Structure formats: C-alpha cells, structure tokens
Structure 1
Amino acid sequence: MRTHTPLPSLLLLGSLTLTAACTSATANSSGTPTTGARAGSSPSAVRTVDPSKIKGLRIVNDNSEQSSCPFAASYPDVPGAQAMTAAMKKYVEGLLDGFRESACADGSDSTAGRELNISHQFLVASGDVLGVRLTTQDQTSASDGRSTRTYWYDGKAGAYRTPLGLIADGSRDAFADALKAELKGREGVDEADLNATFSDPGFLASSLGDVSFAADGALRVEFGRGVVGAVAAGSYLVTVPAATVTPWLSAFGKRAQQQTMAPSTSLDLGAASTPTPAVLTHTASGDDDTDCKKVKCMALTFDDGPAAPETATLLTYLAQYNARATFFTVGQNVAAHPELVRAEARAGHEVGNHSWNHPDLTKLTPEQIASQLDRTSAAIKAATGKAPTLFRPPYGAVNSTVRAATSMSPVLWTVDTEDWKYPDATKVAQTVITKAGRNDVVLMHDIHPTSVAAVPEILRTLTARGYHFVTVSHLRATL
C-alpha cells in the first residue's frame, strides 16, 4: 500500500467529492452476503439489545486497512464474563492467525479476493444472562464462507455455557429428534445421511454452533453449510416453538429464554463494580477559522473506533493542542459507545462513516452497501444529532456501485502509517513526522493503544513546525 501519493493533496481531495444519489434499500443485519437458510416455519422476531447499556463494555477490535490483507474482527469483553470472553478470543485469534499466515505474510496475490470479517451481535444482556453471536465471513472461491457461533454466559453459576448447555441433559435426545424431524424433506437434505449424522452421540455437542431465542421464546437453531445437508444448499434454520422447547430447557436455558422475552433493566454477572471511564467534556469554542491557503494544514484521521478507553485518551491529547481531527467510525462500535462519539462531535471533531462492521463494500450488493452505510449513519446521528457527510470505504475499496449507494462523499488518504501492522508508538509518530506534509490526509486507527500513544509526539513536533490540524471537510473547504 502506498505511504504517500505522488499527486498533490488538493487533486486527491477534489477527486473524492464525486457522489451519487442515495439508494433506499434493505439487507440482512450485518449487511454481508448470506446463504439461503431454509426455515421450517416463519422465523420468530429477534429482539435487539442496546449495547450502550452494558456497564464496562469493551469491544475488542483488530482490523487492517490494506486491500492485499483485508481483515476485520470484533468481539465484546463484558465485565464478569471472562470465561466467555476467553472462548471468543481463542476462536477469533485462531482465525486471524491463520488468515495472516496465508493471506498477509508475503503480500502475494495467491489469495486474491479473500477477506476475513468477524462481527458480533448481542442476543441478550439482561439479568444474569449474556448471549453473543459471532458471524464470520471468510470469502473463498469455493463458497461464501459464512458461519455463525453463539456464546452464552451464566452469571448465576459464574460459568461459560456452550449452545447445548441451553438444553437439559435428559431432554437432548427428544430435542435432537425434533430437529431431525424438522429437517427431513428439506431441499438438499438426504434422509439416510441425516439419520447417520444424528446417530453420532457427539453430533450435537460438536455441531450445534448457533442457538438463540426469539422474542416470543422460540428456539432458533442454525446449522452451517454442509453440516446437515448439501454444501451447495447453504445453511439451515430450524425454529422450535416456545411451547415445544420450554420443557426441554436446562435451568440456565429457561433463564436465557425468559430474559430474552422480558429483559431486565440491567445486566449483573457478579463482577466487581466497574467504574465508567472518564470521557472528555471539552467543548469546542466555535468554528475553526484556520485558512489552509495561508498556513500549513494537515488532516489527521482515525478509523475503526470509537474504542474504550483509547478514544477518550486521544480526545484529551487533541484538546491539549487545540487540534481537530476526523473520526471514521464503525457502526457496531458507535452503538456500543455513543458517548464517545458525542464527545468527538462536541469537541469540534468531524465524525464520518466507516461502515457497520468493516467489510469490503465493493464485494457487496447495492442493498448490502446501503445497509452498511445507512445503519452506521443512523447510529452516528442518534449519538450526535447530525448525520455524517463523509465516509471512508474499508480498505480504501470504492467503485461506482459503492458511490451510487450513498450521497456521502468518499475519503481516502495520502499518508498511511500502517499502524495496524506495526504496533510501535515511536515508529507511528516518526512515520507521520517524516512523511506527512502540507494538506496531507493521514490514516491512523484509534483502536490501537500504540497509535494513540504516538499522537502527543506528532502534535508537539508538527505544531512547532507551524502545522495546524483540521478536519477533512475544513481542509477541502479552504483549499
């Protein structure tokens, strides 16, 4: 990836103002491609969870911004649920290590077109029950690579539960029979193979990866591609009505069902009191009157946040030098930490859109692109009262289809610090100090502590050299 464009910054900024009319569309919850799941009955509605209500929540993020090594991963770290967090961490880091080794190590084109994306969704966060779904999109030439896994935590017992833990030990045979009966006759399912699969006593324990409750108490079970049917047929969704499944649930399963149907006002997993990290209360004194035609300007941009506590620390550093920046935020992180996004806007910074969960938008349908961007814009507006006008496409990947799906203006960069690859504060600071120049747009990430730690040296050194730090929109408007 380029570290500095040979074109003048003014030309780059001007070329990125091309947009098209917004397309109204709908897509699935993640905005990413899905398989053709087959449901036996009409799927029950799924209740949404507001993650901003979870005290002490931290979203663990690890993303790249390089088109030759495109990956993005996130999972929640909730106080009190350490064992569940450890299980998610092991799964995510295993996938990331394998992807980096195969796709990122030598920069070759042998895995061109591959992308790894792991996003999260809260199923329930209420009372003493926590449930999370991780959705993995590992695009290969063989299939769409989508898979899902659910993780459960029992606060009463202080224990991590697998999906099968929702079912009582003595009811698992009856539960398995019900699933098998529901799957028989579906397109792509061979009855003989299905019987053989379910006859394996360890099948449910090893293959029951995604189990959750709907708002009406029904149990939703999704079997991944190739688990119970032909690979080409995709995934299979089985919905078991509440009246049928409730007698089969374990004590924890019944609490998880109840907390999904009628959520409590708070989540208590028995963790020690977690103090809420302080958020900067600095308020900008007014509009920025810097004239970039007369003075040296630079636009620092920070992708993938907000992150706690890193973004709050960064806001403090910026305020100390009266510097303004542009934050390209990821929607699922905005939903978790709207208070940080409000603090960004209140301090005079610009808040932009970086998609909901960081997929390569050029690989999505127009409807999925619109979903990714529209959901994120709605979350930003809910936090700040103002919808964003700029977006940064993940990996810098943008084409005519992406531009046509939104009225926002795309923003790339002229200096890439590659801070996601080199977690070294000194190296990041020196990259900016030595390579960035007048009117440059610098790419950094506020999800990395080392990147945030580099900012004071950047601001101190370049301020002494006469630089003013402005938002991308201000830089565009004054050139």
Structure 2
Amino acid sequence: MRTHRLIPSLLLLGSLSMATACSSGSSGTAGDETAAARPGSSATASPVRPVDPSKIKGLEIVSDNSENASCAWATSYPDVPGATAAADAMKKDVETRLAAFRELCADGDVGGAELNISHEFLVASGDVLGVRLTTLGGGGAGSGLARRTYWYDGGAGAYRTALDLIDTGSRDAFLAALRTRLKGRDGTDEQTLEQAFADRSVLAGELDDMAFTADGGLRVTFDPGAVGAVPAGSYVVTLPKETVTPWLSAFGRRAQRQSVSPAGSLDLGATATPTPAVPTHTASGDDDTDCKKVKCVALTFDDGPSATYTANLLRYLAQNHARATFFTVGQNVVAHPALVRAEVRAGNEVGNHSYSHPDLTKLSSEQVAYQLNRTSAAIKAATGTAPALYRPPYGAINSTVRRATHLSPVLWTLDTEDWKYPDATKVAQFVVSKVKRNDVVLMHDIHPTSVAAVPEILRALTAKGYHFVTVSHLRATM
C-alpha cells in the first residue's frame, strides 16, 4: 500500500464528536462526521474535549487514497512517537479493511461503494493516548459505519483496547449498567439484548468504541446492528462520572483524568523527532503575467499538504519563480496550517478538496456543504482568506454538489496519473511532452516521486517559453 506521512500541528477532528447519555439509536451520532460528513449529530452538554495535536512532538499521520472513482478509498491514521504498538494496531486494521475492499474492486463487486477511514484524537496528554478510527463503507455484506478506539498506556509502555479502561473485576457491573440503559431504546427488545450480551467474548469485540467526556463520563458507542436493529443505526450510552469511576482500571482512571484536565504535553518516553522546516519564501508582488500574450500553464497539486513533500515542492517553485494551485484536504490543512500559510505567502493559490476526500456525488446536499464549508473554514483560519475554488475528489461532480456550494469548480485538462506511475522521470517526461498552452495539469503533492518530477518540469517548460500561474490567474487573463 502506498503511504504518505503527514506531521500535524493542529487537528480539529473530535470537536464535533458528541452524544447524549440517553439518545436512542441513530446513525447521526458522534464520529460519523469524520468519515461521512453527516450533519445533525446529537448535541450534548459534555462532548469529548478537542485535542490539539500540535503539542504531540514528532507526530506523523499515515495517509493514503486512490484517485480512481470506480474504486474510491481514502485512509488515515496517526503514528505517535513512543506509541508504536498503537500505530501498528491501527495500521493492521486499516490494511485489512483496505485489502478486502480492493479485492472487491478487482472482482467488480464494489457496486459503486467507497471506503473512507478517518481518525480523531480523543486524548493526548500526560502518558495517555486515545484515538478513534471511523470507517464508512467498504462494499460487500455488512458494510457501513464502524468505529474503534485505540489506547496507549505510556506508563506501562503498552497498547490497550477500549475494554481495558474497565477493571476486570468490575466488568459485570459495567455490562449490566449498559444493558439497563439500552433497554427500551427504539430498535431494541429484550430478546435482542439478551442475545447481544449472552456471549461475553463476542460482546468484548463490540465494546471497541469508548471515550471520556469533558466532565469525566464514559461514552460507549455501539456500531449499527451490535445491540439493536441495523436500521436504527448506532447506539450511544454515556455513563456519568460518579457511576463509572469506581469501575475503571488504573489506566482507565489516568485516561479519565487526562481527558478532563489535560496536561500541557504528551510524554510517552519517545525521543524528540525534528519537525521539517516550513519554507519562508515570500512572493515579491502580484503576478503580472498576461496569458493572452505568453504561454501559460497552471500546475495544480491535490491531497496535501504533506509536511515533507509539500515543503520541498514550495522550494522548487520558489527557485523557479513559479506559482501553482494547491487543492488541499481539510483534515490536512488543520494538521499543517503553517504550510498552507507558506503556500499563500509564496504567491500560490489554495483551493478546497473536501475535508476527508469522499466522493461528493454520493453525499446529500447537507453533507457536501459540511465537507466543503469545514475545509474552507480551515483554510481561512490558516491564511486569513477563504478559498474561491474547489476540486471534487475523484473529479466526481453532479448537480447536487454544484448546488451545495458557491465555490467555483476546477477539474483539469491534463491528468498526469502520477499516482499510478511512481516514477519521477516518467511523470516529468509525460508533462513536458503532452502539455499545451493554458493547460490545467493535475498532480499530487503527497507522492514523493511526483514532487521530485517538478524541477525537471519547470526547467523544460521554462525553456519552451511557458509561464507558471495559478488557476484563477489563468482564468482571468486567458
């Protein structure tokens, strides 16, 4: 699997992760936003406290996605220094799901479905790390929404499951409390709950999504079909602090404490990892290139920013006095606001590429708006200016998508397919041999070989008299 490591400084996933203590089964409960962009989550007076990953030194995000709409997938998970065992567990789960999905693609059994795995931090404080992966889709039987939380105990140097938050001697009381609070919910009945709670080994697998609320309660989320009818969606139970605290393990109590009152930093015993420097180049002024008089081309880069690759790309562009357009993914924008600011400072343009890279044509109008608006807000927070352009993931666009946003859509006239051919020389030769005046060229700044191809593209096309401008500048001066 092709992987791209991203080093975040701020991640807002989780700020919308909310659920009520007495909510009925609903597919719109917490966590859906990260992968499915489902507005209308149940609100609560005590959500999970947002985490600022910029305090996690050396953090990397392992991110990957396809560019093929017929087999559309996007995945991400964090790799935190010192918590290798947790990253390994997430990697294993992501790769297992992705392998199964790609096999369905190869067999032609996807049926228009896609796979989207996103992440959010639940706590990253003291010696405690908590992460949730949210999976949407995947095709095949049983596909849909699934969530799992991954915990790391820095004090013991060990990976923990969600159920490890509960002391082994208190699990009977814990399960009894969950069953009591589920009883009478829409979509549940006594027989369904009896079956769900009868086999403790199976139930342990279903109890894989737990998170502490800001006031110390424990929120437990069951995936659709785990304890009730599948159409009823997810079931959420929040046990108040005074109820759950006596049942917590020693690690659970520390996780609760760090969730309620986070420490200033995360220390899992790892050595510090240097953060790649952000380029400081500043454009000398507005671009005065007249594309009616000279040959212009707009290089565009999707899916970033990536700490290492985007930083290198910005240096290449600056060295050649070239400008480009970056169609950024929202969850990477909030991870790398300094890089996005550097893109703009150097005279480049930043566009919107959705928040978590779903196929927008498979979402409702409200979901499309959520994906794009959240990304535009992240870009504005990073740069001070909201974007004017968007590029839909996979180039997939329809009337619903168009009506959901005021942004101007941008596709491309030359697709390098750089994701398919990880060869810098081949990518450069393709662009140089195929490009025409006023082309909009599609590339990606999350692929090292694509970025490595840029110096030769800039050199060869400059020799042919081309000028490198942003998409908006090209449109305005053609």
Q: Does 1:120 align with 2:119?
A: yes
State the SS of the aligned residue for 1:72.
strand
Deviations 1:224-258 (A, max 9, x none): 11111222222211111111111111111111111
Among 33, 36, 41, the residue aligned to 1:32: 36
User: Greater relative contact order: 1 or 2 (C-alpha under 8 angstroms, separation 6 or more)?
Assistant: 1
Deviations 1:411-446 (A, max 9, x none): 111111222233222222222222222111111111
Cα gap change, 1:36/1:337 in structure 2, threshold over 3 Å: closer, same or farther? closer
Residue matched to 1:82: 84
Deviation for aligned residue 1:42 = 5.8
Q: Quote the Cα distance in structure 2 between the aligned partners of 1:290 and 1:384.
A: 24
Cα gap change, 1:476/1:53 in structure 2, threshold over 3 Å: closer, same or farther? farther
Q: Does 1:56 align with 2:46?
A: no
Cα gap change, 1:345/1:410 in structure 2, threshold over 3 Å: closer, same or farther? same
Q: Does 1:111 align with 2:110?
A: yes
Q: Quote the Cα distance in structure 2 between the aligned partners of 1:399 and 1:80.
A: 45
Q: Quote the Cα distance in structure 1 between the aligned partners of 2:439 and 2:75.
A: 28
Contact residue 35 and residue 144 of structure 1 kept, 8 A: no
Contact residue 117 and residue 138 of structure 1 kept, 8 A: yes
Q: Quote the Cα distance in structure 2 between the aligned partners of 1:94 and 1:454.
A: 32
Residue matched to 2:326: 327
Paired residues for 1:180-219 under 5 Å: 180-219=179-218
Residue matched to 1:252: 251
More displaced stretch, 115-124 vs 225-234: 225-234
Deviation for aligned residue 1:376 = 0.8
Residue matched to 1:272: 271
Q: Which amino acid aligns with 1:86?
A: D
Deviations 1:273-315 (A, max 9, x none): 1112111111111111111112221111111111121111111
Q: Quote the Cα distance in structure 2 between the aligned partners of 1:150 and 1:395.
A: 29
What's the RMSD between the two structures over aligned residues? 2.2
Cα gap change, 1:283/1:157 in structure 2, threshold over 3 Å: closer, same or farther? same
More displaced stretch, 387-396 vs 425-434: 425-434
Cα gap change, 1:54/1:90 in structure 2, threshold over 3 Å: closer, same or farther? same
Cα gap change, 1:381/1:65 in structure 2, threshold over 3 Å: closer, same or farther? same
State the SS of the aligned residue for 1:246.
helix
Residue matched to 1:67: 69
Residue matched to 2:302: 303
Deviations 1:61-80 (A, max 9, x none): 11122221211111112222
Contact residue 338 and residue 382 of structure 2 kept, 8 A: yes
Q: Quote the Cα distance in structure 2 between the aligned partners of 1:370 and 1:54.
A: 31
Deviation for aligned residue 1:46 = 2.3
Deviation for aligned residue 1:93 = 1.5
Q: Does 1:465 align with 2:464?
A: yes
Paired residues for 1:37-436 under 5 Å: 44-103=46-105, 105=106, 110-138=109-137, 140=139, 145-436=144-435
Equivalent pairs counted in the alignment come to 448
The alignment's TM-score, normalised by the length of structure 2, stands at: 0.89
Deviations 1:180-229 (A, max 9, x none): 11112222223234223323231343221211111111111111111112
- Structure 1: runs of 5+ lacking an equivalent: 1-26
Q: Which amino acid aligns with 1:67?
A: A
Contact residue 167 and residue 248 of structure 1 kept, 8 A: yes
Cα gap change, 1:454/1:283 in structure 2, threshold over 3 Å: closer, same or farther? same
Runs of 4+ in structure 1 off by over 6 angstroms are 141-144
Q: Which amino acid aligns with 1:320?
A: Q
Q: Which amino acid aligns with 2:218?
A: L
More displaced stretch, 279-288 vs 121-130: 121-130
Q: Quote the Cα distance in structure 2 between the aligned partners of 1:74 and 1:116.
A: 11
Q: Quote the Cα distance in structure 2 between the aligned partners of 1:361 and 1:144.
A: 19
Q: Which amino acid aligns with 1:48?
A: P
Q: Quote the Cα distance in structure 2 between the aligned partners of 1:439 and 1:87.
A: 47
Deviation for aligned residue 1:142 = 6.8
Cα gap change, 1:231/1:203 in structure 2, threshold over 3 Å: closer, same or farther? same
The alignment's TM-score, normalised by the length of structure 1, stands at: 0.89
Q: Quote the Cα distance in structure 2 between the aligned partners of 1:143 and 1:203.
A: 16
Cα gap change, 1:400/1:195 in structure 2, threshold over 3 Å: closer, same or farther? same
Q: Which amino acid aligns with 1:168?
A: D
Instruction: Report sequence identity in percent.
Output: 71
State the SS of the aligned residue for 2:146.
strand
More displaced stretch, 188-197 vs 81-90: 188-197
Residue matched to 1:24: none
Contact residue 358 and residue 394 of structure 1 kept, 8 A: yes
Deviations 1:304-361 (A, max 9, x none): 1111211111111111111111111111111111111111111111111111111111
Cα gap change, 1:388/1:53 in structure 2, threshold over 3 Å: closer, same or farther? farther
Q: Quote the Cα distance in structure 2 between the aligned partners of 1:250 and 1:141.
A: 38
Deviation for aligned residue 1:55 = 2.1
Cα gap change, 1:270/1:78 in structure 2, threshold over 3 Å: closer, same or farther? same
Deviations 1:75-98 (A, max 9, x none): 112222111111111111222222
Q: Quote the Cα distance in structure 2 between the aligned partners of 1:204 and 1:217.
A: 24
Contact residue 59 and residue 307 of structure 1 kept, 8 A: no
Contact residue 303 and residue 329 of structure 1 kept, 8 A: yes
